[in-house]
Structure 1
Amino acid sequence: MATISSLGVGSNLNLADLLSKLQDAESQPLVALQNKAKSYTSKLSAYGTIQSALATLQAAAKKLGDPTLFQSVTGTPTVSGILSASATDASAAGNYTIDVSQLAQAQTVVSAGQVDSKTAIGNGKITIDFGAVTGGTFDAATGKYSGSTFTADASQPTKSITIDPTNNTLEGIRNAINGANAGVTASIVNDGSGTPNRLVLTSTQTGEKSSMRISVDGDASLQNLLNNDPAGTQNLKQTAAAQNAKLNVNGIDITSATNTVKEAIQGATLTLVSTGKTGLSMKENTASAKTAINDFVKAYNSLQSTAKTLTAYDADTKTAAALVGDNTLRTVQTRIRQAIITPQAGGANDMKVLTEIGVSFQRDGTLAVDSDKLDKALANNLKGVANLFSSATGSTAGYGKQIDALVDDVTKGALKVASDGVTATIKELDTQYDAMQVRVDATVDRYRKQFNQLDVLINTLNNTKTYLTQQFDAMSKQSK
């Protein structure tokens, strides 16, 4: 069958335009499906926005639900540079006089000098253990003990290190000790003398029980370099003694193996920096609690603002936001507000509602904070404020804990069910669209074929008409 390359050419009719209009008409169901899918996509996006706002609220609530937030205590020394202090127990609050007479220190010992750090010394097995040196005397000039006793500390493991031809130089011994994680740090110091290379060993722990005892089973040269028993043969010179920190807190003497002293003041940690005497004021840190409460209020108000935007209706343009009339969002808002206004259980003198600390609802549904009232509550009854928001492990009391659990429930429950339902609807609409597209394409293709046949037919008829007209005209001329 003859075909026409462009619709309408053969018939001189505007068939292409007609086909385009028919295609538009047939595609109207597709447009409707697209618009419907777009509205559901907007709804799904809106649920995501709500979920994000809920996550911010939950994070703020979780922080308030942690009792340690209200137990922070800040220490302020009267003399700087001696110590710093912090606490996570409000019972540490108070004023203290502290005299640091000695800092904790790790032992350091130094070997005799060697001409070359790369020359082989000897082979053997080095054994290092730790303990306390007591009694006797210490000669600072020689760096050695006399008449002392070494008592090993069973809590610190003994470590053995093998020295062989692969590592029997001073550098090799240094590397072997460092690689053994033996509780000792080894280095080489050059003192500029004729035998300048000296092995320096420092215990990785401070405290009087961190003194080293080193024994060597092997070549005499290796023994002569490293054998060191504070109660016997000492081939190493001590340049820093293992010692505890010593301090006095309000007239009570305290010792510590480290310069981080815990529980000298109950619930507090003192970090010693230098010796000296200072006063220390430990005060409850209410600033972090106040910030957390304000952050919670901001997060709640942000959720309300987000919900208002997503449920707005523009009367001028007659357009509705994605969640207008949405029951899921309304349920979430109602449950959270109900939780916030429900009084906490407690004794007769306990705080039970947020208005007692200056947090109250406004006419527009948002929360506002009376800063002065909140400051007063934090200053006069920090424990009461803490109980209003938090509770011990295993308890569900406190607005912080309750809102945290509630958001978790609605996010994994109602909001997830709603989001999953919308997602399923979008997938179903996509399936319907694909099926409808196939039908529309088939219908338009049928129209195109029919129009092509019409075009060919009319073109044929026009050609026949032209031929017959010519024949009749010729016959008429001949008859004349």
Structure 2
Amino acid sequence: MENQGSSIIQALGAGSGIDFIQLASDLSQATFDPQRANLNSRTEALTARISAASLLRSSLNDLAAALGDRVRNGDLSPTPSLTNPAIADVSTTSGIAPQGTYSLEVSQLASGQTLALQDYSSGSDLVGEGTLNIRFGTVNGASFTEDTGQTALAIQMTDADTLSSLAGKISAGSDGKLFAYVAQGSGGAQLVIKGEDGATNGFVLEPAGGSGAGGPGDLGYLAWSPASDAGELRQSAQDAIFELDTVQITSSSNTVTGLPEGISLELLETNVGAPATLSFSNNTGAISAVMTDLVAALNDIVGLLSEASSGLGGALTNDQGARELRRDLSALTTQRVIPGAAEGEPSTLADLGLKITREGTFAFDSGRLNDTLTASPDAAAAMFTAGPFGVFATIDNLARDNTLSSDSSSLGGSVARYQAQIERNDERLADIAEDQEQLRNRLTRSFVSAQSVVASSQSTLSFLQQQIDAFNQSN
């Protein structure tokens, strides 16, 4: 858009030789340049502070996350050991440190019902039209008690269905509860149906709509119930039964979870009359390794903090969040991470070998850790849990407390404060741009007026000069 007044000046001839439009623009810009430069300088400094504080905040969060992964992955938990490992595979819940010993005696494994039905000549034999109903429940001797909480199946059969196609329909239509296939044995083809583990997962076969002939080719030939069993039942559905410290426990699966102290079992064999002993050994090597890594990570943070907050040129010199972080780090070794620890039991990071040097950096005292592991191995291992107390909770709280945006004394609060100042600077820069434009317009109008006066004066001078010249010529 053409500057206000420029056309007027051009129309008047601008005989002074001065570009008043550019002059107005230059003067208005020069008026506000110092303010703009000051604000831009402040924004650059604030951006550097945000960058430094954000890097520290990110480093704290990364440390907490990495330590949490180590704890939850279970490599710091005590290692389970069973005197008869053939009985069960043992695992523990990540973040829980089980202690003590347990006796384990398995008297029965969980299993699913298996039926091998009567013979056909081949899998391509027709089985008959109708509906094969399958109900689930508990088979006990010759009786069957339906579990009404499980949905019964209704397998629809056509006159073209064979023994093999029936097997496919059972497997596909049961949503994983049953698996069926045709086994070609020495006596002919048999439909084999296997159910899920657990006593309540037994099942009966109840055909409907058959011709009543009762032989192969009639759907009624596939009927089965425990009362009519003639050897088709090859494996009964049953629960696993075992004793943990002589307390009997049943499970519908051989995979057992929810046991004390986060113990899980995968039952493999029975050991009636010969209980096995389950115990736990602490992984001292993993504890030493994680403490070494923790010291290195903390020193990285101390280095970043020193670089950002030391000297006059530090981005976070005199920053409240940086000062608070330094205080928290200096108190880290003596902070009680296990508030309820018994007298003489480890309760601080110093007990795990973390110490602070005179220079304000961290160091690893392996001798102190070894003394703790020798005197209180279980208590030391219990400090590495995912619970509300312990090493992870302490580092996690350190990260949270120093990165919370709503806390004005934290690094998070510093970032929020600096961001707000940048926003105010941007608003002030916008105001300056508006003020500068207004000044430019005022100057342009003034120069237009001045140019008009100059043009008028030049016209008068020219007229007078003409009169004088004419007078001189006449004389």
TM-score by length of 1: 0.69
Q: Distance in 1 between matches of 2:147 and 2:27?
A: 91
2:331 corresponds to which residue? 338
1:146 corresponds to which residue? none
Change beyond 3 A, Cα 1:164–1:151? closer
1:401 corresponds to which residue? 393
Query: After the TM superposition, which residues 306-455 of structure 1 pair with which residues of structure 2 at under 5 Å, given as runs?
Result: 306-313=304-311, 320-342=313-335, 346-371=341-366, 373-375=368-370, 377-378=372-373, 381-386=376-381, 398=390, 400-405=392-397, 407-410=399-402, 411=404, 412-413=406-407, 414-415=409-410, 416-455=412-451
Q: Distance in 1 between matches of 2:278 and 2:391?
A: 34
The one-letter amino acid paired with 2:205 is: I
Query: After the TM superposition, which residues 42-53 of structure 1 pair with which residues of structure 2 at under 5 Å, given as runs?
Result: 42-53=48-59
Q: Distance in 2 between matches of 1:238 and 1:349?
A: 62
User: 2:128 touches 2:158 (CA, 8 Å); kept in 1?
Assistant: no
Range with bigger deviation, 408-417 or 118-127: 118-127
1:184 corresponds to which residue? 178
Instruction: Compute the displacement of 1:439 (Å).
Output: 1.2
Query: After the TM superposition, which residues 56-135 of structure 1 pair with which residues of structure 2 at under 5 Å, given as runs?
Result: 56-59=62-65, 71-75=77-81, 84-87=89-92, 90-91=98-99, 105-110=111-116, 113=120, 121-124=128-131, 126-132=133-139
Change beyond 3 A, Cα 1:178–1:380? farther
Q: Distance in 1 between matches of 2:279 and 2:433?
A: 78
1:162 corresponds to which residue? 154
1:317 corresponds to which residue? none
Q: Distance in 1 between matches of 2:462 and 2:426?
A: 53
Instruction: Compute the displacement of 1:6 (Å).
Output: 11
Q: Distance in 1 between matches of 2:393 and 2:205?
A: 56
Query: After the TM superposition, which residues 169-248 of structure 1 pair with which residues of structure 2 at under 5 Å, given as runs?
Result: 169=161, 171=165, 174-175=168-169, 178-181=172-175, 183-186=177-180, 189=182, 200-203=192-195, 205-206=196-197, 210-219=201-210, 220=212, 223-233=219-229, 237=232
Change beyond 3 A, Cα 1:473–1:119? farther
Over the residues paired in the alignment, what is the CA RMSD in angstroms?
5.4
User: 1:310 touches 1:322 (CA, 8 Å); kept in 2?
Assistant: yes
2:301 corresponds to which residue? 303
Instruction: Compute the displacement of 1:36 (Å).
Output: 2.5
SS class of match (1:325)? coil
SS class of match (1:365)? coil
Q: Distance in 1 between matches of 2:335 and 2:270?
A: 54
The one-letter amino acid paired with 2:57 is: Q
The one-letter amino acid paired with 2:298 is: Y
Change beyond 3 A, Cα 1:156–1:282? farther
Instruction: Compute the displacement of 1:271 (Å).
Output: 3.5
SS class of match (2:99)? helix
Q: Distance in 2 between matches of 1:242 and 1:21?
A: 95
Instruction: Compute the displacement of 1:446 (Å).
Output: 1.9
User: 2:101 touches 2:277 (CA, 8 Å); kept in 1?
Assistant: no
Q: Does residue 29 of structure 2 align to residue 24 of structure 1?
A: yes
Give the one of 3, 6, 9 matched to 2:8. Answer: 3
The one-letter amino acid paired with 1:183 is: K
Instruction: Compute the displacement of 1:43 (Å).
Output: 3.1
Q: Distance in 2 between matches of 1:350 and 1:452?
A: 89
Q: Distance in 1 between matches of 2:79 and 2:263?
A: 8
Give percent identity, aligned residues only. 22
Q: Distance in 2 between matches of 1:23 and 1:6?
A: 24
Q: Does residue 28 of structure 2 align to residue 35 of structure 1?
A: no
Instruction: Compute the displacement of 1:362 (Å).
Output: 1.6
User: 1:215 touches 1:223 (CA, 8 Å); kept in 2?
Assistant: no
User: 1:358 touches 1:369 (CA, 8 Å); kept in 2?
Assistant: yes
Q: Distance in 1 between matches of 2:294 and 2:261?
A: 31
Identify unmatched segments of 5+ residues in structure 2. none
Instruction: Compute the displacement of 1:122 (Å).
Output: 2.8
The one-letter amino acid paired with 1:212 is: F
Change beyond 3 A, Cα 1:331–1:269? closer
Instruction: Compute the displacement of 1:157 (Å).
Output: 4.3
SS class of match (2:8)? coil
TM-score by length of 2: 0.70
User: 2:291 touches 2:352 (CA, 8 Å); kept in 1?
Assistant: no
Give CA-to-partner distance per residue, 1:236-295, whole Å, 9 cap, x none.
Answer: 95566657779999xxx999764436699997544367999x999963334444444344
Change beyond 3 A, Cα 1:452–1:69? same
Change beyond 3 A, Cα 1:327–1:14? same
Q: Distance in 1 between matches of 2:349 and 2:433?
A: 58
User: 2:110 touches 2:254 (CA, 8 Å); kept in 1?
Assistant: yes
Instruction: Compute the displacement of 1:369 (Å).
Output: 1.4
Q: Distance in 1 between matches of 2:49 and 2:12?
A: 44
